[in-house]
Structure 1
Amino acid sequence: MSTTVTPLPPRRPDSYRTPPAHHVGDPPTSFRNPWLSYSNTTVNKIIKTRFGSAKNFVAVPADRVGLVEVRQPDFGVHKDGLKATWIGHASFLIETPKVEGAKRGMRILLDPVWSERMGPYGMVGPVRFTPTPCSLDDLPDVDAVCISHDHYDHLDSDTLRKLNMRHNGRLKYFCGLGVKAVLTGLGVGIRAEQVTEMDWWDTVRVEAHGINSADLVCTPAQHRSGRTPWNFDGTLWCSWAISEVPEGGKKLFFAGDTGYCHVTSDDEPSHHNAPHPPCPAFAEIGELYGPFDLALLPIGCFSPRSLLSGQHSSPDDSIAIHIDVRSKKSIGMHYGTIRGGISINYEPVTEPAQRFKKAAEAEGLHWGTEIGLCDIGETVTV
C-alpha cells in the first residue's frame, strides 16, 4: 500500500515570531521552552531534590489491586468512529473512521514502545510493571508512526526495527526537528525518505491510497529531549493534532509528554498557585485546531513537583489542558506502566488515576463521559 505526504500551509497563533522563539540559533542548534511557565531543571536541582527532600516510596502492589487492568485488544474491529487503543504508557494505535468503499481507516501509531526495559541498549532504564496487551505480531498493519520526542520511553529502537521490517521499509515516520537523524541513526533500517521532520505548527496531509487521508499538525509541548547527556534539547519535542480528511471529520489531540506550569513547592500538585501563568500553547492549539473529539493526556510520573512540574503534567494540570484544547473527551495516559527514575521515590503508582478523577470532579466534569481512563488494550471510540 502506497502512502504519500503533502505539506500544507501552516496555521500559526498570533504569538508566532520569526525566527521562532523556541529555536536556539538560526538555523537552530537546539531548542527551548519559550514560556514563563517553564523552569529549567539543572543537575544541581536534581541532586538537591533527590538526596535532600523527603521521600514517599511505595512499592507496586504485588496483588495489582488499584492498578490498571490489561485486556487482549480487538482494536475496535466491530466499532465505527475514531478509535484509540492504549498499548500502555504513551503508546496508542489510532484508526480514523472508515470511509465508504474502504476496508478500514488510516492507522497511526503514537510513540510505539513494546520493550520491557526503556533505556539505552535495553540494559538500563525503567522496567514495565504492567505488560503490553499484545505482541507486535498481533498488531494490524499501520500506515504511519508519530513520535513526540526522542526519550527512550517514547522512541524505542527495538520496536521500530521490528515495525520497519514487518512493513518492508514502507512505513512513514513523523517527528520534530532533529529527530530524523536519531531515527535514521538507530541502525534499524529506517531511511531518510521515510521520515518527515516538522517544526511546531507545520502541517502535512498523509494519504494511504485506497484507505483514507489525515492531516497531521506538529503542535507545541512543554518538555525536553535528549538520549545522551551531551545532547540535551538538541532535538524538538512536540504534541500532535490529527484530523480526518475532509475537513469537518473527527479530530484527536495527543499531548505526548508535557508539563503545564512550573510550581516551586512539592506540596502543590498543579498550576493553581504557581507564580507564573500556565503554558499558553494549549489554548492556542484549542483555538486553531479544536474542538477535539478525543484527547490523550499524560497524568503520571509527575512528582516531585518542584523538579518535574515544568515538564510533566500532574493529573490536575491535564484537566486544565483538556479545557484549554477544547476536548470533548479526554483519556489519561503516561501512567500505570513504568516508574520514572526520580518519581519512583515520590509517587505511588496508584496515585495518578485517583487524582485524575478527583480533579475532574472538582472541575465539574462528568467522569466517564468528558474525562476518563481506559484499560491497557482497550479501544476508546468516539
Structure 2
Amino acid sequence: MASTTSITSNSITITRLPRKEKYYQSSHHIGKVPTSFINPWPSFRKYSPLDILLTSQRDRDYKPVPSRNQLVAIQKPDWGAGKEGLKATWIGHASFLVETSAIEGAERGVRVLFDPLFSERTSPVTWAGPKRYTPTPCRLDELPGVDLVVISHDHYDHMDSDTLSKIYASRKGKVHFLVALGNASRLRGFGIGEKDVTELDWWDGVKVDVPGVASVAMTCTPSQHSSGRGIWDQASTLWCSWVLVAGSLGSTSATSHPSTSEKVFFAGDTGYRYVPKEAKDSDMPHCPAFKDIGEAFGPLSLSLLPIGLYSPRHLLSPVHCNAEDALCLHKDLKSRKSIGMHYGTVRGGISQYFEEVTEPPRRFREVCENDGRIWGEELGLLNVGETLVIP
C-alpha cells in the first residue's frame, strides 16, 4: 500500500503505512473489490438463523441475572490520575479507554477509545433488545477528551450509534475514527464526517500524529467473527482486531516495533476455533491469525481478550472465546499481560438460556491458575471503571 496522508480538521495527521505483506492474503474478500467477507480458516463454521432457532428451543434453562453484589464490581474511574505509564480503563463489555505514556514535554498520552458502549440496549431500537445489567461507571460526558475512536465491527454491542454520534458532536474537530473495510458508510450514517474516518483492511496500518501529544501506530489485524446490523447485510462489512504501538516510534516512522514500545492488542470480538458437540477443544483447528499477530508485534505489553458469551459452545465457539480460548490467545500473541473483557455487562438473546453471567470470570481464573499462571500478574480482570497502569 502506498503511503498517503490525510489531515483532519483538528490537524491530527493520519499517515498510511506499508501493509504487512508477509501476513496479508485477500482470501477473506468476496469479489475483487470486496462486497462481503468471510473467515478463511478451517477453525470457522458458519451458523444459520435456523441453527440459532433450533438451539434456542432445545435445553432452554433461563439463567436470571443475580443481585448486584454478586456481579462485577463498579467503581468511579480516575483514569489513572497521577500515575505514570500505559493506562487501560475498563468501561464495561468490550469498551476500554487506553492512554499511552506521556512523552517528555507533553501533559498526557494519546487517548484511544475502543468499542465505546454507553447505551442501555444493544439494539436498533431503545425499547427492545438486549439490555445491560451493569451500568457504565461514568457518564459519557465524563470521559477525558479522546483522540481516536477505534471500532472492531458493526454489531450493536460494539458499534453503538448513539454513543458514537455524541462523541463526535462533543469532540468534532478533535477526534478521528478508525474502522475496518465497509464501515465508514456506517459512521457516515451516524452523522460522522467522511474526513474524520479512516477505513483499513487486515494488516493495513496508520501512523496517527496528535499535535502537542504524541504519535501512535494503529494496525487493523484479523479476528474470527462476523458482521451485520440486520437480516440483509450479513458479512457486508469487515470485522477486525487492533494493535496499538506507542513509545519508540521515532519522528518519521512507525513501521518497526522495538521491545521498548508500548504495544496493546484489542481483540474486539473473536472466536478461536469451532467446537462441535462432543468434541474436545484440543482436537479442533484453531485460528492461525493470532500467532501471526504475535510474531509481527510480540511481545505485547497488554492484550484485551474476550472471555464471555460463549454458550452454547457448539453454536458460539466460532465467533466467541471461552476462558480456554482466551488463554490460548494470550500465548499465541506472546502477551506479557492480558485482561478479560466481553462479559459482565450485557448478554445476547441466546446466552441467557445457557450461560450464567457469573461464570466467565470465575472460569477464566480457574483455567489460568490450572495452567500455572499467577493470577493478577500475567492474567487478570478489572472492576468496571478500574484503571490498570503498566509502568
Q: Shared fold (TM-score greater than 0.5)?
A: yes
**Structure 1 residue 80 corresponds to structure 2 residue 84:** yes
**Structure 1 residue 5 corresponds to structure 2 residue 4:** no
Q: Residues 57 and 185 (structure 1 numbering): CA distance in 2 closer, same or farther, change over 3 Å?
A: same
Cα distance per residue 1:99-122 (max 9 Å; x no partner): 000010000100011011111032
Q: Which amino acid aligns with 1:23?
A: H
Give distance in 2, aligned partners of 1:44 and 1:191: 38
Select 1:141's aligned residue among 140, 145, 153: 145
Q: Residues 118 and 364 (structure 1 numbering): CA distance in 2 closer, same or farther, change over 3 Å?
A: same
Q: Which residue of 1 aligns with 2:172?
A: 168
Q: Which residue of 2 aligns with 1:273?
A: 283
Cα distance per residue 1:136-182 (max 9 Å; x no partner): 11111110100000000001111111111111343100000000000
Give distance in 1, aligned partners of 2:381 and 2:317: 22
Q: Which amino acid aligns with 1:3?
A: I
Q: Which residue of 2 aligns with 1:257?
A: 269
Q: Which residue of 1 aligns with 2:375?
A: 367
Q: Residues 25 and 128 (structure 1 numbering): CA distance in 2 closer, same or farther, change over 3 Å?
A: same
How do 1:192-207 residues align onto structure 2 when only pairs under 5 Å count? 192-207=194-209
Shift of the alpha carbon at 1:64?
2.9
Cα distance per residue 1:177-235 (max 9 Å; x no partner): 0000000012xx31111000000000100010110110000000000000111000000
Q: Which amino acid aligns with 2:381?
A: L
Q: Which residue of 2 aligns with 1:61?
A: 66
Percent of residue pairs identical? 50
Give distance in 2, aligned partners of 1:207 and 1:123: 40
Select 2:40's aligned residue among 34, 59, 71: 34
Shift of the alpha carbon at 1:63?
4.5
Give distance in 1, aligned partners of 2:140 and 2:173: 16
- The answer to whether the 8 Å contact 1:260/1:271 transfers is no
Shift of the alpha carbon at 1:237?
0.2
Q: Which amino acid aligns with 1:36?
A: P
Shift of the alpha carbon at 1:363?
1.7
Q: Which amino acid aligns with 1:22?
A: H
What SS does structure 1 have at the residue aligned with 2:283?
coil
Cα distance per residue 1:266-292 (max 9 Å; x no partner): x66x73232xx1000000000001111
Shift of the alpha carbon at 1:80?
1.0
Shift of the alpha carbon at 1:44?
1.9
Cα distance per residue 1:235-256 (max 9 Å; x no partner): 0000000000424321000000
Q: TM-score, normalised by structure 2?
A: 0.92
How do 1:292-303 residues align onto structure 2 when only pairs under 5 Å count? 292-303=300-311
How do 1:94-243 residues align onto structure 2 when only pairs under 5 Å count? 94-186=98-190, 189-243=191-245
- The answer to whether the 8 Å contact 2:79/2:89 transfers is yes
- The answer to whether the 8 Å contact 1:300/1:335 transfers is yes
Q: Which amino acid aligns with 2:122?
A: M
What SS does structure 1 have at the residue aligned with 2:63?
coil
Q: Which amino acid aligns with 1:62?
A: S
Q: Which residue of 1 aligns with 2:27?
A: 21
List runs of 5+ in structure 2 lacking aligned partners.
1-9, 250-259
Q: Which residue of 2 aligns with 1:70?
A: 74
Give distance in 2, aligned partners of 1:128 and 1:60: 11
Q: Which amino acid aligns with 1:178?
A: G
- The answer to whether the 8 Å contact 2:101/2:247 transfers is no
- The answer to whether the 8 Å contact 1:132/1:376 transfers is yes
State which drifts further: 345-354 or 157-166.
157-166
Q: Which amino acid aligns with 2:99?
A: E
- The answer to whether the 8 Å contact 1:57/1:348 transfers is no
Select 2:347's aligned residue among 315, 339, 342: 339
Give distance in 2, aligned partners of 1:80 and 1:199: 33
Give distance in 2, aligned partners of 1:171 and 1:349: 34
State which drifts further: 126-135 or 1-10.
1-10
- The answer to whether the 8 Å contact 1:242/1:252 transfers is yes
Shift of the alpha carbon at 1:304?
0.3
Q: Which residue of 1 aligns with 2:299?
A: 291
Shift of the alpha carbon at 1:298?
0.3
Q: Which amino acid aligns with 2:29?
A: H
Give distance in 2, aligned partners of 1:160 and 1:95: 19
Q: Which amino acid aligns with 2:30?
A: V
Give distance in 2, aligned partners of 1:101 and 1:170: 20
Cα distance per residue 1:300-338 (max 9 Å; x no partner): 111001110000011110010000001000000000001
